[in-house]
Amino acid sequence: MGYKAESLHRMDKPIIISFRWSFEELLLAHKSHMRFSKLGRKFRRIIFGGGMFFLALGIVFAAQRNLAPAFPLFALAFGFLASPLFLRRALRKSYAQKPDRDLVVTYEISAERLAVKSEVASSEMLWRTILRVHRVPQGFLLYPTDHMFHWLPITGFRDAADVERLAQLAKSNVQDYSQKT
């Protein structure tokens, strides 16, 4: 089989991504979402900006020896700046309640559709249901809505050629494709 024929044959074969949906994988997916999505960047700016605002205001009151309002402002600043820790705790609690925790999740992706299955569930969707795809260093985030995403980690792909095939499929099927480094 020549190079061109082999290349065409590979394009017909579905891309298989298989990985264990562990808490660490969930954290990596969520971290990528928070770092690279518009919503995540907006959330981080609000949290950091709010924390710094309340901290600065608390310092101003403390410098004027007006401690009554300073302490609540410091508490608010701490609450804002510590929210990533609270969010991690909420993710852990949510993960503990997921029926697919610690199970192998397998995506099968072709030019027409995306299918996902585990021991407890399965679903299929057409490419047109995906609004946006972000390729990040650790994998792909596929967004059917602004708030929901599918995580496809690089470690779940069979080889680097399948990673590039998925990138090409996403570029050709989704209007909003971006690659983040």
Please check the confidence at residue 10 and state whether its pLDDT lies above 90: no
Helix (H) or strand (E) holding 151: strand 150-153
Instruction: Give the separation between CA 181 and CA 179, rounded to whole angstroms.
Output: 7
Confidence of residue 180 (pLDDT cuts 50, 70, 90): confident
What are the structure tokens assigned to 53, written together? 């605002």
Beta strands 132-136; 176-179: pairing state: parallel
pLDDT tens per residue across span 120-145: 999 999 999 999 999 999 999 999 99
Helix (H) or strand (E) holding 8: helix 3-12
Domain 3-21+100-179 has CATH 2.30.29.140: yes
Please check the confidence at residue 8 and state whether its pLDDT lies above 70: no
Q: Where are the domains of the chain?
A: 3-21+100-179, 40-95
Q: DSSP letter at 14? A: P
Percent of the chain with pLDDT over 70: 94
pTM score of the predicted model: 0.80
pLDDT tens per residue across span 30-82: 999 988 888 888 888 999 999 999 999 999 988 888 888 889 999 999 999 99
